[in-house]
């Protein structure tokens, strides 16, 4: 052992700024979420597909508006298969790539305009229902007084079949785009709120929440800082099932005759109109079905994967 002299040492002043620094690697929640999310190749493929889909459903109807009655006077254009339609209208054209419908309408333009309706509808409904559902669900789970009142309301409303509520409401207030959204959202948030209430209940009584409460944190801040961040992955999972469900709901309701009105192009209406003769004119039936299925599957898978990525336990 060599000699250690005092020359080997030097005095260092206390540096308060340095002392505060944490040497752990910087962690950003959302950056990690997207890092994990894009690690999966399938997500990149799906996102690309989805962007193409969105762009085409918004751009194509803007440049080539869907006019269902443009050939109504020419009965020869009705129910033409893609090949015959292109022959009839003179050569290859994207417009007739899926043939014509019952009134000589272009199926391709039809599904593009309808897909836009479905996407807008799904986003608006999901936004309204999720916002109301999550906020009310958080308060519902947090406040015991509110819980007692809401449980009674929930037990009554939840007993009425959802389909009954929607169809009676559409029947009453008419079948326009906005009234349809109203019917889908008037009780739609309740299920989300109830689900969320249960999640909040579980977290409400955890120790760190208890500590916060003891320190006098007000309820809104408790909800927004202590509880909601913990439930991000739950919210994304919900979104992943909610968004496609509205597209399916519209298709279903249009099929049973309580959907959107005839002026609004919609996938449900197209499927409903083509289903009676789907064995004879398959080109009228399968394209709207396929586009509805494609949108819902893409949204569902992307949502599920985003939900997986938003769980901090996968960020290792």
Binding-site ranges for other proteins (CB under 8 A): 155-156, 159-161, 163-164, 167-169, 171-173, 201, 204-205, 241, 244, 247-248, 251-252, 255-258, 268, 271, 275, 278-279, 285, 289, 292-293, 296-297, 299-301, 304
Distance CA 309, CA 312 (A): 7
Least Cβ distance, residue 88 to other proteins (angstroms): 27
Q: Judging by beta carbons within 10 Å of its beta carbon (0-12, 13-18, 19+), is residue 294 exposed, middle or buried?
A: middle
Least Cβ distance, residue 239 to other proteins (angstroms): 14
Residue placing its CB nearer to other proteins in the complex, 52 or 290 = 290
Residue placing its CB nearer to other proteins in the complex, 77 or 242 = 242
Least Cβ distance, residue 124 to other proteins (angstroms): 18
Q: Return the closest-CA partner of residue 58 out of 113, 95, 107, 111.
A: 113
Classify each residue of 114-130 as buried b or exposed e, where b means 16 or more C-beta atoms within 10 Å of its C-beta.
bbbbbbebbebbbebbb
Residue placing its CB nearer to other proteins in the complex, 239 or 247 = 247
Distance CA 272, CA 269 (A): 5
Residue with tokens 């509805």: 292
Least Cβ distance, residue 233 to other proteins (angstroms): 14
Residue placing its CB nearer to other proteins in the complex, 77 or 260 = 260
Least Cβ distance, residue 244 to other proteins (angstroms): 5
Residue placing its CB nearer to other proteins in the complex, 227 or 251 = 251
How is 100-127 classified by DSSP, letter by letter?
B-TTS-BHHHHHHHHHHHHHHHHHHHHH
């Amino acid at each position: 052992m060599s000699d250690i002299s005092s020359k080997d040492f030097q005095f260092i002043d206390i540096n308060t700024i340095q002392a505060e620094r944490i040497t752990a690697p910087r962690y950003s929640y959302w950056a990690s979420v997207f890092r994990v999310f894009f690690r999966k190749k399938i997500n990149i493929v799906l996102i690309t597909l989805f962007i193409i889909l969105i762009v085409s459903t918004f751009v194509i109807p803007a440049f080539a508006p869907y006019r269902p009655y443009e050939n109504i006077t020419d009965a020869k254009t009705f129910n033409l298969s893609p090949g015959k339609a292109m022959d009839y209208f003179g050569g290859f054209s994207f417009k007739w790539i899926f043939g014509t419908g019952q009134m000589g309408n272009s199926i391709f333009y039809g599904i593009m305009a309808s897909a836009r309706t479905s996407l807008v509808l799904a986003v608006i409904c999901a936004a309204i229902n999720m916002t109301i559902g999550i906020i009310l669900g958080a308060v519902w789970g947090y406040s015991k007084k509110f819980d007692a009142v809401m449980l009674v309301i929930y037990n009554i409303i939840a007993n009425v079949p959802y389909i009954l509520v929607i169809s009676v409401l559409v029947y009453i207030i008419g079948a326009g785009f906005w009234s349809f959204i109203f019917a889908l959202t008037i009780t739609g948030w309740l299920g989300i709120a109830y689900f969320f209430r249960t999640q909040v209940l579980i977290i409400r009584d955890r120790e760190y929440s208890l500590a916060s409460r003891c320190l006098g944190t007000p309820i809104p801040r408790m909800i927004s800082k202590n509880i909601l961040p913990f439930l991000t992955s739950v919210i994304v999972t919900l979104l992943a099932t909610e968004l496609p469900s509205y597209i399916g709901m519209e298709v279903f309701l249009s099929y049973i005759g309580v959907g959107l009105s005839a002026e609004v192009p919609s996938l449900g209406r197209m499927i409903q109109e083509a289903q009676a003769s789907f064995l004879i004119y398959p080109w009228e039936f399968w394209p709207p079905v396929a586009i509805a299925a494609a949108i819902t599957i893409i949204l569902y898978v992307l949502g599920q994967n985003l939900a997986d990525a938003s769980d901090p336990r996968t960020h290792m």
